Amino acid sequence: MESKRVFRVELKDQTVDGKSEFFFGSIAAMYQRLTPEILGVAKSTMNTYLWRFGGQYENKLCKITSGEIIRKSQKKITR
């Protein structure tokens, strides 16, 4: 089995392109799509907070949680 960390962002009282829930594979991807002004926190602070304090962050603008996606391993086909 393989696993990958995923970040769920729930925006409070705001939307981006009509959406209030997003899923990202990295913090960098999160900040490529959502600005620090939308999230209410700088990228460097988010990096520190999520890795040191259990993968959860919440403020008045958003709630961010992290988890794992577990996938079945795939065999590579050689020809």
The CA distance from 11 to 7, in Å, is 13
Tell me: pLDDT of 3 over 80: no
Angle at 28 between CA 63 and CA 22, to 5 degrees: 40
Q: What are phi and psi of 41, to 5 degrees?
A: -155, 145
Residue 13, SS3 per DSSP: coil
Amino acid at 48: T
Q: What is the pLDDT of residues 22-78, one digit of tens each?
A: 999 999 999 999 999 999 999 999 988 887 877 889 999 999 999 988 888 877 777
Strands (E), 1-79: 2-11, 21-24, 56-58, 62-71
| Domain ranges for the chain | 2-71
Query: Given this model, what pLDDT does residue 49 score?
Result: 84
